[in-house]
């Protein structure tokens, strides 16, 4: 059976989404041993080593005047990953992803400034309202986990803005490799302080490498390949599937179950993200002569 070549980039994006969320699911197996701080450190460490070997940023790296923005990019990457893992240590994966997704969603909506985007704002706000633990009722989410997820969302939004500036000055692969290296300067000391010698236990090595490969090496490669062959609108719409994919893999891999209200909230975030991607691209098309 032959696959239509036109479908290959679409399949690459789908595999990238599955890979990222599978990596996040597997990382939760390590939380009882290393904590989210230790898992973040190992993920960043092995991802950095892989990316440095592949992209070799020491050849044709950034100019001296660009190092500041590259360091900021790396710092945001480190804080984003650390706070996301702190969030999903307390929250179901699908909910953590949905809350974090509010960051890029806000960037997309604010950059569009179309009146029709208020529909997607309303969807996102409704989804957030359903997820926030009002009054500590039964089944409410951990408020500390929600806080960490919203910090991760803020970092993701800033990461996108800063990342656009970095990509204009440094080759994409080299920028990611350098960003990961700078993020490691933040996350590795935190992981060592929290986890100590357990961080280097041979029993966690296969899991740590799997998380690094699934969460960074595979998706970065697949996304770079896909973006060369599919429109940004299609890519954005497909990435909107991440919260739902996280919820599904969280259920299949680690048995996390969500209430009907939480599923509706995730669906609203998916709709808001997909809608904002669609209308933002349509606004660009309408502005073209």
As to burial, measured by CB atoms within 10 angstroms (0-12 exposed, 13-18 middle, 19+ buried), residue 38 is buried
For residue 172, what is the DSSP state? H
How far apart (Å, rounded) are the C-alpha atoms in residues 288 and 282? 10
Q: How much is the pLDDT for 134? A: 57
Residues in the chain where the model's pLDDT stays below 50: 137-138, 283-289
Distance of CA 256 to the CA centre of its chain: 19
Between the alpha carbon of residue 35 and those of residues 5, 24, 191, 207, the distances in Å are: 42, 13, 8, 14
pLDDT value of position 135: 54
Question: Using CA atoms, how far apart are residues 155 and 159, in angstroms rounded to an integer?
Answer: 6
Q: Cα(262)–Cα(130) distance, rounded to whole angstroms? A: 7
Q: What is the pLDDT of residues 159-178, one digit of tens each?
A: 888 887 877 777 667 788 88
List the one residue out of 287, 271, 232, 235 whose CA is nearest residue 119.
271
pLDDT at 133: 62
Q: How much is the CA Rg of the chain, to the nearest whole Å?
A: 19
The DSSP letter of residue 65 is G
Domain boundaries, the chain: 12-287
Please state the φ and ψ torsions of residue 62, each to the nearest 5 degrees.
-70, 160
Going by the DSSP 8-state scheme, the letter that residue 132 receives in this structure is: S
pLDDT in tens, 212-252: 889 887 887 787 677 667 766 677 777 788 888 899 999 88
Contact status, residue 235 vs residue 13, Cβ threshold 8 Å: yes
Q: What is the dihedral of CA 180, 186, 192, 198, to 10 degrees?
A: -30
Give the model's pLDDT for residue 122: 85
The vertex-84 CA angle with 225 and 76, nearest 5°, equals 70
pLDDT for 286: 44
| pLDDT confidence of residue 187 | 94
For residues 80 and 65, give the distance between their C-alpha atoms in angstroms, rounded to a whole number: 25
**Cβ distance 37 to 194 under 8 Å?**
yes
The sign of the torsion formed by the CA atoms of 37, 39, 44, 46 equals: positive
Q: Which two tokens stand for residue 266?
A: 């995730």
């Amino acid at each position: 059976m032959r696959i239509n070549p036109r479908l290959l980039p679409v399949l690459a994006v789908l595999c990238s989404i599955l890979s990222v969320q599978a990596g996040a699911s597997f990382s939760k197996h390590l939380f009882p041993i290393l904590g989210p701080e230790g898992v973040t450190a190992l993920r960043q460490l092995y991802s950095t080593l892989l990316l440095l070997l592949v992209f070799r940023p020491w050849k044709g790296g950034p100019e001296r005047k660009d190092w500041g923005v590259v360091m900021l990019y790396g710092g945001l990457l480190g804080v984003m990953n650390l706070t996301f893992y702190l969030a999903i240590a307390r929250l179901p994966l699908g909910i953590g992803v949905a809350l974090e997704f509010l960051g890029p969603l806000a960037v997309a909506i604010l950059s569009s400034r179309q009146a029709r985007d208020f529909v997607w704002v309303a969807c996102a706000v409704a989804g957030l309202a359903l997820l926030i633990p009002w009054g500590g009722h039964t089944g409410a989410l951990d408020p500390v986990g929600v806080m960490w997820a919203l910090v991760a969302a803020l970092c993701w939004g800033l990461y996108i803005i800063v990342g656009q500036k970095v990509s204009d000055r440094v080759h994409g692969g080299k920028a990611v490799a350098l960003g990961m290296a700078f993020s490691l300067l933040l996350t590795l000391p935190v992981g060592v302080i929290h986890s100590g010698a357990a961080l280097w236990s041979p029993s966690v090595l296969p899991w740590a490498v799997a998380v690094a490969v699934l969460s960074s090496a595979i998706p970065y490669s697949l996304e770079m390949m896909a973006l060369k062959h599919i429109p940004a609108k299609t890519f954005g719409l497909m990435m909107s599937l991440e919260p739902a994919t996280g919820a599904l893999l969280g259920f299949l891999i680690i048995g996390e179950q969500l209430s009907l209200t939480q599923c509706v909230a995730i669906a609203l975030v998916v709709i808001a993200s997909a809608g904002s991607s669609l209308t933002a691209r349509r606004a660009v098309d309408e502005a073209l002569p």
